[in-house]
Amino acid sequence: MRFKRRLTPVANVNLVPMIDIVFQLVIFFMVSTQLVQNPGIPIVLPGSTTSEPLIMTKLVIKVLSRDKIYYNNKEYNLNGLSDALSTISEKDKEEIKTVIIEGDKTVSYELMIEMLDVLRKHRFKGINLRTKQIE
């Protein structure tokens, strides 16, 4: 008479907890990583002791000179920027709460006022000038 062994070893590896942990780590690193905006455009921001951190928005404009204004990684002059901003729909303008202007420290005051006029002409509100923090 042969007896059959009832208990056979079962070797299963449950991968679900490991996948959950890896997924949470990926989300953590995605949220905590700071992304560099437009790394190819060198700009020297003016300093300020009272500057406050800004929330990044969809509309960031970098001003280097009258003929070098960057919007969405494309180079415009002042009139070309006005034409590009006119293509933004009213619905998108309502979603954009703030506009950030990053002006090089060598940019003239007159050009910054003209930039503000162009943005106001296209009905943008909440325009902020970005500076670097001086301690």
pLDDT per residue as tens digits for the range 70-87 = 988 889 998 899 999 999
Structure tokens at 94: 């309502």
How would DSSP label each residue in 5-61? P----------HHHHHHHHHHHHHHHHHPPPPS-TTS---PPEESS-------S-EE
Give a yes or no: residue 96 inside a domain.
Answer: yes
Q: Looking at residue 89, which CATH number applies to its domain?
A: 3.30.420.270
Give the global pTM.
0.63
- pLDDT digits 0-9 by tens, 88-118: 888 888 888 888 888 888 899 999 999 999 9
Range of the domain at 89: 47-133
**Maximum CA extent, the chain:** 104
Q: How many domains does the chain have?
A: 1
Q: Kindly state the tokens that stand for 132.
A: 């670097």
